[in-house]
Amino acid sequence: MAEPSFAGIDVSKDHLDVAVSQGDEIIECFQKPHTEDTILGLVEKFKEIMPKRIVVEATGGFERALAAYMFEAGLPIVVINPRQARDFARATGILAKTDKIDARCLARFGAVIKPASRPIKDAQRQAITDQVTRRRQIVHMLAQEKNRLSRSVEPVRADIEHHITYLKERLDKSNKDIQQIIEATPVYQETVELLSTVPGIGPVTSASLIANCPELGSLNRRQIAALIGTAPFNRDSGTRSGPRCVWGGRRTVRHQLYMATVSAIRCNYKIKSFYMRLTTAGKKPKVAITACMRKLIVILNAMVKHRKPWQISAV
């Protein structure tokens, strides 16, 4: 029986570099223009050879169309963090970096690591993800302009004030667009209503979780904490016992969860009492907040999993 094959695709704006491995050898490597016809051709090709994994890196959105077509065709597409691929290449002694080398490394990564597949965002989830990302960008620009305003003089000050007014209008429009997408999808609307029963969780946090954490409700407590980046990891060596710290995870979700946790510490009796217990025991405030973040995401995960609102799940 022939050995299973694995494929790696390095995605750039203009080209797709494809490598196919079988056993320890790269049996095929080629470059094609990054077009819809090329993607459809690759789908047909992979349907014939049926690789065990097709591995691509997340490249700022250039991989979306490829991943969507592969997923719809039932192919085992896996989108990984570029850091994972680069660390794997270094670990195997590959220090050079080109598109061809990256494609080969991705194929070998699939064969050796066999990464687990994760759900690919559908059109509706991708739409809300884009809107949430755009909202975050507008908020960032608003903060920058407000900082500039405090140090500006006329006539620059008038221009900055005009831009702030414009950005506030765009922020309101973005909030309405996000709300419309959620209301048009019953599952999302139900999830938002569930999450909103938790004191400290507002519409922005709910939308961020829907957009950037489709696994919410499908994982256990340890998995969801590690996925978001709130699970403490050991840093021990020999007789040394280092401090535990969080590592990795989804940064955008973790940042939004941090703000929600700070709010929950003020108005959510369960999170507040947990925070006070930790600080009274001598934990530093940031450490206590991180622990509260983990507790909060575990609670939210359980609520979505069992479809129970806060009043029931918090008992």
- pLDDT of res. 24: 84
pTM over 0.95: no
- pLDDT of res. 178: 95
- pLDDT of res. 313: 46
Three-state SS at 194: helix
Structure tokens at 87: 């660390």
- pLDDT of res. 315: 39
Cα 3 from Cα 5, distance rounded (Å): 6
Q: What is the DSSP string of 209-268?
A: HHHH-TTTTTS-HHHHHHHHT-SEE--EETTEEPPPEE--S-HHHHHHHHHHHHHHHHH-
User: For the purposes of burial, counting CB atoms within 10 Å of the CB of 133, is it exposed (0-12), middle (13-18) or buried (19 or more)?
Assistant: middle
Phi, psi (degrees; rounded to nearest 5) at 9? -125, 120
- pLDDT of res. 2: 66
Cα 277 from Cα 190, distance rounded (Å): 33
Average pLDDT along the chain, 315 residues, taken 10 residues at a time: 85 95 90 95 93 92 90 92 93 93 95 85 87 96 94 90 96 95 92 94 94 92 93 83 82 94 95 96 94 96 93 49
- pLDDT of res. 236: 82
Parallel, antiparallel or unpaired: strands 236-237 and 53-57: unpaired
